[in-house]
Structure formats: structure tokens, C-alpha cells
Structure 1
Amino acid sequence: MVWRAKDIVHLFFFLSVFSSIIVCAAHDERSGKNNATNKNADVLKTVVVIGAGISGLTAARTLTNTGHYDVTLLEARKSRYGGRVWTDRVSFDRIKGVEADLGILLFDSRDPLNEMVKMFEAYEVTTRLIKSAYLIDGHNQKIYRGKSLDNITQTYQKIVTAAVKLAEENADEISLQMAVNRLYKQNSSLKGQLSSKMFSAITMSRMNLLPSNISCRQLITHKDLSFDTIIEEGFQEVADRLLSGISFNERPLDLEMNKVVRQIFVTSDAGSDQKKLLIRTTDRQQIQADAVIVAVPLGVLKSGELLFDPPLPSDKVEAIQNMGIGIVNNIIFEFSQVFWPKDIEIFHYVPTQITDIGVMTTWLNTGLLSGRKDPYLTTFIQGNLASHMENFTDDQLKEFALERLQSIFQVTGLSSVDIISVVRSQWSSDSFSKGFFSYPTIGSPTNQWDVLSKPICPHIFFAGEYTHPRRYGTVQGAYLSGLHAADQVLNSCQSKPSKMTKTKQKVFNKTNKNHGRKTREEL
């Protein structure tokens, strides 16, 4: 056979490629042996976060941004995330902002512990401080606004501070109402400055509870809070940006909707290179994980519908059951025209009957607050009747609202035809919430937040506003608890404390030791 030049070139090329493959294969085999011990070094830790409310979103965002964790966020609801943050953008054609908020609506932007304010700046959401308000006394129709309202507010704050001090001095675990009654007996002039009924109405508007349901000893953590700021775009904007990220360096969170978790199972026979948890959902799926952050509302934990195997420690179960659950439902009314003062942003009403306190006694002029000046008002059902009134029909709510508004604004001739639409929340009957906020019941131990925020090492962690010792029941408490839970996960997998430990963790450590015995100035 005669070899041509191009045949020789082809043969040389074939032999060169073949020898390269052999060399590379040998190199790969040697490299595989050398790196066998490091096989799992680059495998991301798998974390499942249960609940896509503010605490769950914050925890998932914090861990995802480190780049060291494979985080999956599970949300039970089919059509929305955000938990008790809910801007209803479906029920309305024109409004998409604060007028459509059916969940968290107000927060304290001047709270020294509210680190969400920094986040709002980064997210470029528009916050607005409520500046114009008035209070109407239904007994005599006297209106307090401007300086006269400031005087009422200062008197109220003075009485609350004195009541807390009285309870501390006597080492009593009593309700705020009992402490105020004692003060009024000691100093009858106080009652002349602020009646018991007005005191109760202001307390309900600020704390969503009657004074008889508030632990005076534990009130020190909340007595200075003032929920006076809204987000014009609606609070859902915050949840949206936590989920999607706000820069090229932040990838969207891995969110799975319609995932109702029924059990968290800790495996006992897993090898060192296997996942330690099984997260089982009602659709007969299970997810393996190294760690789980339970960020479901307190009401869900109280119900026992989320199972733990092995069961939760008895002290954690007791602490969960000791915490109270309060209800606040938002009702949004769209009217045919504006008949209320156009320049006032919030209205408070002191009803003639004490049993009516909290039932549509606070109204937000959300049309004004949004900047669009549309004829929308948002009112609230707070207190003992909130759960019961979830069963009211829209027509019943319209009738009640019209009676209340005619009493507040002294207008006549209003009828149901003046109300175009009614949209409301039903947090008590919401199976994925079972309530709206947590609060410490009278007689509950002051160290319960140590137990509530404590992880079940090394796999199960907890987040939610109910776990925060100073900001339970608030959206800033939910946010801080998400940071705290993420930091606990970071420290469980790292030999050195994370940077977050040296900053955010101080809020928890100092508070749990002293249970809020620091003033705002000391913080």
C-alpha cells in the first residue's frame, strides 16, 4: 500500500488525540483519588424555610446571599406569598398600593430597633409618616386635633409609664387596666385628664388590645411604640423585593407555592454524608435537608397541625401555648365620593359604649396617604369581636360602617349605595395564619422568648415575630427574627461567628438577659 502525504497527516492527528485522551483519563483518575476526601467540600448545605412571610423571606434572603446554602422556601398558599403582608392587587382595578393593604399596614419608623427602615431605603420604597390626625369623643362630639390631641397623647403616655412603674415597684403581675385603676384611685386628677373609656380606646388603637388583656410588667417593651408610618406602594412591595433581590448580585429566591408542610422528621440512621431532615408535605412529597427554619405563624404552631418527629421539647410547647394571639382585620371601603375631611390622614373615635371600642373606631384616609386622593377608607376590627365579625356579610359591614361614619363625621343621608365595594381580611379563619399577631399573656414568664427563639440543635430553627423579645407582634419583630434565625444557621455550620452575630445578635442577647430593662436612650 502506498501512503499519501495526507494519509500520514490524518494518522498522526488520530494518534495525537488518542494519546491525549489516555493521558487525560489517567490524570483524572489520579485527581479523583487525590480529591476523594474533598468530594463533599463544595456541596452546598441544604436549608428549607417553611413560610414565606417577612421572617421566612428575610431568613431565606440572608442565607442565599452568602452563596454557601441551597435554600428552598416553601409557601402553603397557592396564589400569594408574604404571609400577613398582603397588598390585594387582584380585587381592585385602579389601586395597587397602600389603599389595598389587607395585612400589615402601619409601622414605627422611629423605633430604634426597626432595622427595616434601612432596608426600605435600599429598596427605594416610599414611606410616609402620618402627620394629620384627629380624635372624636363620641360622648360629647368634641374633636381633638393639633395641640389638643398632642396633650391627650402626652397624658396617655404619662399614665402608661406610671402604670408600668407601679407594677414594677410592687412586683405585681397585673393587667394594664388594674394598674391604671390603682393610679386613678391614688390620683383622681388623672382620671379627670383622661377618662377610662378614652384611655381604653387609645390603647386599642395603639396596641390592638384592651388594657385588661395587656401584661403591665411586659408592657415596657412596647409602651413607646407608635405605629404611624405607611408604605405608599403597599407593604407587598417589600416582600416582592425580598423575593426577587434588588441587584445583579442577588438571585431570586427558590420559592415553591402550594406546599403545605405536615411533618418535620429528624432521621436517626443517616450517615455522615446524608441529609438529616425530611420535610414532608401534604401532597405526599418529601424534601431532604440539612436544616430547616420554621417561619410559620404562632397560630399554626399552636394548632398542632405541623408535626415534629421527635416531638418538640415540652418547654417549647409550653412557651408556644403561653403566648396569646390577637386579631386585627382590615376592611377597605370604596365610596362614590369623599365626604370626610380631605386633609386628615387618620381618624380615631371614642364610642359611647366601651364594648364598641376597636370596632371600626380607627379609620385611615388611604386615598390621601397614597397621594392619589381616591375615595377609599380603611378601617379595622380589633379586639374580642374581630373573630366573630369575620362571619358578617358585606351588607352587614356596610350597615355598621355607615352608622359609625355618620356618628364620627355628623353627616346624614348616607346609604349603602354610597359604598361601591368592600374588601376585607379574615385572619382568624385563615388556615395558614390562624391569627394576626402575638402578645404575652398576663402571668406568662418573662424568659419565654429564650425558649421560643432557641433552636433544636443542630437542625431545626425558628423565626417569626412571636420569637422576638422586644418586638413581638410587629413587622419589625418578624424581620429581626428572620435575621436571627439565619445567623443561628450560619453559626451552626461555621467555626467562627458571622458578622451578623456581632451586631444583630446583641438585640436578642441583651434583651433576653434583661427583658427590656433598657430605655430607648440606652439602646
Structure 2
Amino acid sequence: MSKESRVVIIGAGFAGLTAGKRLREQGIVPIVLEARERVGGRVYTTPYVDGKPLNLGASVIIGTEGNRLTELAASINARLEPLGDNKYLARPGQPALSDEECERIAEAVDDAFDAIKEQVASSASIDERANVADAVYANLRAAVAEEPDLDYEVLRCAADALSEDYAAEIANVSLRHVSVIKDNGGDDSIVVEGFRPLLRAAAGDDVIQSVLLEHVVTRIDYTGSSVRVVTANHGDFIAEAVLVTVPLGVLKARDIVFEPPLSADRQLSIDRVGFGLLDLVVLDYSNLSEPFWPDCNQFTTLQPDNVRHDPQYASDLLPRDAMCFVNYHYINGRLLLVAYVVCELAKRLEAMSDNEVASLFGRHLKCYFPDAKQTRPCRATLGRWWNNPFSRGSYTYIAVGGDPADFSVLATPCHAVAGSSQPEATDTITSSSAAGAAKSMLFWAGEHTVRERHSYADGAWASGERAADEITRYLHERKHHAVTQ
């Protein structure tokens, strides 16, 4: 039997849940479907073996100044820990560089990245094929020319950590559009007790408790005056409007069949926007009495070229120029390290067991801390976002050859057009068009629909509220249309 509602929301991540709250505030109670056995989407805070919360998804507020998440955290007394200065271990077997040396490296990389933003802002002729990596490395070489005591290989490796910002190799990130994201001021900060309390505060218990879990959507038919949402194991749902908030990776994989098919323009945008991979790897050292790593909230191991090919280390080092570790012992006393792993290395680790991952990190860290008696963690826990069929990656970026206009295309509502060669038409719901109001509509939200804050949780939040407002206007006009017929 089909279940009916005025609105169905597909996906119970930040966008879907906050849209649900906004709709309830307007007197509209949606049905919220979630494929997983939990709410949150890419916000995944789970109890760890010590009973304390652990983030395997979103964990950091990027740019705390002027960020709604910062205000939300303050309202519930959630503790934020700024990610301060980074300690660099430039080569295996050597101690961490001095504070002064680490500061110079960080400043050189930051200056190189800031310089490319200035170059892009002052030039109207950046080749659409240009990438961030080439520009950053060119600026780093220029910095070494001015300060010959700087080590270019160390700087190049340190710049590899920029891949964490995009969940992608910086060689795949568009230089032309590097400044599209709005940068908030303030330190990036970890939410120490986990991101889940922020999600709960933003969405409210009523919405969260109403979510129908383990409802896997396989097909959406929006050809008629209502939308039919087909699930794999819980029947069909009928609605006047459907809000689609599934991650871009799911849309790229075409795991949901749309009838009629999405328009060529929308499909092009889905294919063209980059969707990267970043996995958090939690390394548990609770079997140790004290840490063997530096007493700071984060450190990074670097691999200059001559190290990577050194037979003494080649078989034990993880294949990334930079590997960042967040030190939870410094943050809250827990003997945990959390490694940030991106791209192909993350995919490689996802093909392994947690036990194998623990061994790999143990060998890697032994190269940098040879005097430590035990570098293998007693357990490792991996986020595994690539192999998750309900995410298929982590977050979006503008790839080389991409276009920021794609975010607007992905955010625009749509409806079917009978007899048209264009199977989907867009309707921004700005007027009480009788033709538009009589049709069922698909609406779209998620971080991949936000130009200036794509890839961020606050961007997903804003998109959910924007889509809820569009739905409210649409339903009002649809009701008005029905009354006047």
C-alpha cells in the first residue's frame, strides 16, 4: 500500500533534517526517508569502545567566525578545540622540526595558496584547464628562490595537505574557480563531543524521531500530478513535492532511477562537479601508558622524494607526501590519533580489514618514531565513505574544467514536461504559474547545491532551509491554483 504525504524528504543528513524542521515550522509535516539505520548522513558520531563519542564523518567547523555552527555550538555549550599550529616531521627518524621551522613552512604554504587566489582575482584569462597544484608549486619555488634556506621538497610535501580541504588531489582542483568558496575567518575547530549534538540542536528531536530508517529509495516517478517514491523494501510513497538530499556520489552512481530522466543540463552538472574522498582513521593507543608522539593537537609526517625511494623505508611508508594526525590526547586526554586519509590511499585502505589498517599505520609511524616501543595501535577504525552505497564519497569540489554555475543547476527545482523533447523543465517557483503549480515538483538540497559553502555542513544546513522555503511557496501556489480552477 502506498503512503501519502504532502512532502517526502529523501535523506536524513544535515540538509534533509533541517529542511524537515523548517517545513514543520510552516505547518507542513513531511515524511523523511533514510536509507541507513541511523540519521545524520555524513555526520556520523558514534559511541567508541570507551563509551565516549567519536566522529567518523564531519568533525571540524571550518572557519568559526560568522559561522552558524559556531553560534549553535555555543548555544548548547559544545566544546570547540581550535586546530592550532602544526608540527612537521620532515623525514623518518628525525625529531619534529622546531616551532620556528614549522611556522615558516606553514606560512610559506599559506602564502603560496593565498597568492594564487590573488592571481585568479586579478586575471580574467585563467585557463579552464589550469589546476591548483601547478600554481601552488610555482609559488613555492619562487619562495625558495627568495629564501634559499627553505627546502622545496619539504614545502611541496606540506602543500599536499591541501588535498584534505577538497578531499581530492589538488592537481584535479580548478585553479580558475579556487576562490568560489567563501572563507570564514577564525580557526578551524574540532567539535570535541562530536557533531551529532549540533545536528540534533539544528533539526530538533521531533524531526529526528520521525525519520523512517532503512528506507532505500530506488526510483522517483514525477510524471504526473504527484510524485511516486519507490523504496526497495517498504513500498511506495506519494507526495505533491519531493525533496532530494542524497549525496552527489549517489546521483553520480545513478543509484536512483528518475522517470522521466533528469535533463541533460542537470546530468552534466552532476557529472562535472567533483566529489572527493576523505576518510578519518581512528588509531587507538589505549593500551599505552603515554603517547609517543609530539605534545600538540596535530602533527604531519612528510615524505620528500629521496625518502620515498629509500629502501630502508619504501615498503613501510604510506604513499602520501603529507599525512596529518590529530592528537586527541592533547585535546581531551584520550590516547587516540585520528589520521586524515584522502583519495586513492583511502580507497586502498577501504579494501582492507581494520586489523590490516592498524598494521600499516603502525609501520608508517615506526619510521618516524623509531625509539617508540609500540607504534601499532591496538585497533583502527575507518570511516569507509567510498564503499558506503549511501554516500559514495565525502564532499564536493570544483574540478578542472568545472563551472560554479553547476551548483545553481543542481539546486533548481524541476518538473516533467509532457510531450517535450526536454524530459525535465526547471521552475524556480517565483510566480503563481498555473501550469507550474499544477505539476508535481522535485526539489534539491545538500552541500552540492551551495555555491559559496559547498562541502561544508553549514552549507548543507542553509540548503535545507532554502529548499523548505521553496516547497512552502510551491504548495501555497498549488493550493491557490486548485481553488481557482
Common topology (TM > 0.5): yes
Are 1:93 and 2:49 matched, yes or no? yes
Contact 1:260–1:282 under 8 Å retained in 2: yes
From 90, 108, 112, give the equivalent of 1:159: 112
Return the TM-score normalized by structure 1.
0.75
1:264-275 → structure 2 map (5 Å cutoff): 264-268=220-224, 270=225
Larger Rg: 1
1:142-181 → structure 2 map (5 Å cutoff): 143-144=96-97, 146-167=99-120, 169=123, 170-173=125-128, 174-181=130-137
Aligned to 1:452: 410
The alpha-carbon deviation at position 135 of structure 1 amounts to 1.7
1:433-444 → structure 2 map (5 Å cutoff): 433-444=391-402
From 265, 280, 292, give the equivalent of 1:315: 265
Are 1:421 and 2:379 matched, yes or no? yes
CA distance in 2, matches of 1:278, 1:190: 64
The alpha-carbon deviation at position 85 of structure 1 amounts to 1.1
CA distance in 2, matches of 1:390, 1:201: 21
5+ residue gaps, structure 2: 309-316, 415-426, 428-435, 478-485
Contact 1:184–1:190 under 8 Å retained in 2: no
1:213 maps to a residue whose letter is N
Where 1:349 maps in the other structure, the secondary structure is strand
Are 1:384 and 2:353 matched, yes or no? no
Whichever structure has more helix as a proportion of its residues is 1
Q: Which moved more, 1:47-56 or 1:380-389?
A: 380-389
The alpha-carbon deviation at position 181 of structure 1 amounts to 4.5
The 1:322–1:191 alpha-carbon spacing in structure 2 relative to 1, beyond 3 Å, is: farther
The one-character-per-residue Cα deviations of 1:481-513 (angstroms, maximum 9, x if unpaired) are 212212222332357xxxxxxxxxxxxxxxxxx
Contact 1:205–1:358 under 8 Å retained in 2: no
CA distance in 2, matches of 1:105, 1:213: 24
From 454, 461, 483, give the equivalent of 1:479: 461
Are 1:406 and 2:356 matched, yes or no? no
From 261, 286, 307, give the equivalent of 2:217: 261
Are 1:54 and 2:19 matched, yes or no? no
The 1:306–1:153 alpha-carbon spacing in structure 2 relative to 1, beyond 3 Å, is: same
Aligned residue pairs: how many? 431
Where 1:165 maps in the other structure, the secondary structure is helix
The 1:186–1:374 alpha-carbon spacing in structure 2 relative to 1, beyond 3 Å, is: closer
From 462, 469, 472, give the equivalent of 2:444: 462
1:69 maps to a residue whose letter is I
5+ residue gaps, structure 1: 1-43, 271-275, 496-523
Where 1:69 maps in the other structure, the secondary structure is coil
Contact 2:161–2:322 under 8 Å retained in 1: no
Are 1:366 and 2:328 matched, yes or no? yes
Aligned to 1:198: 157
1:434 maps to a residue whose letter is R
Aligned sequence identity (%): 23
The 1:77–1:190 alpha-carbon spacing in structure 2 relative to 1, beyond 3 Å, is: farther
The alpha-carbon deviation at position 284 of structure 1 amounts to 5.2
Bigger RCO (CA 8 Å, 6+ sep): 2
Q: Which moved more, 1:343-352 or 1:286-295?
A: 343-352
Aligned to 2:296: 344
CA distance in 2, matches of 1:289, 1:190: 64
Contact 2:93–2:368 under 8 Å retained in 1: no
1:256 maps to a residue whose letter is L
The one-character-per-residue Cα deviations of 1:100-156 (angstroms, maximum 9, x if unpaired) are 2111112224254x3222222333322222335312212783634645433332222
Aligned to 1:489: 471
Where 1:197 maps in the other structure, the secondary structure is helix
Aligned to 1:506: none
Contact 1:358–1:380 under 8 Å retained in 2: no
The 1:357–1:152 alpha-carbon spacing in structure 2 relative to 1, beyond 3 Å, is: farther
Are 1:281 and 2:241 matched, yes or no? no
Measured on the aligned residues, the alpha-carbon RMSD in Å equals: 2.8
Aligned to 1:134: 87
The 1:223–1:464 alpha-carbon spacing in structure 2 relative to 1, beyond 3 Å, is: closer
2:57 maps to a residue whose letter is G
Contact 1:73–1:253 under 8 Å retained in 2: no
CA distance in 1, matches of 2:453, 2:231: 31
Return the TM-score normalized by structure 2.
0.81
From 171, 176, 179, give the equivalent of 1:217: 176
The 1:384–1:162 alpha-carbon spacing in structure 2 relative to 1, beyond 3 Å, is: same
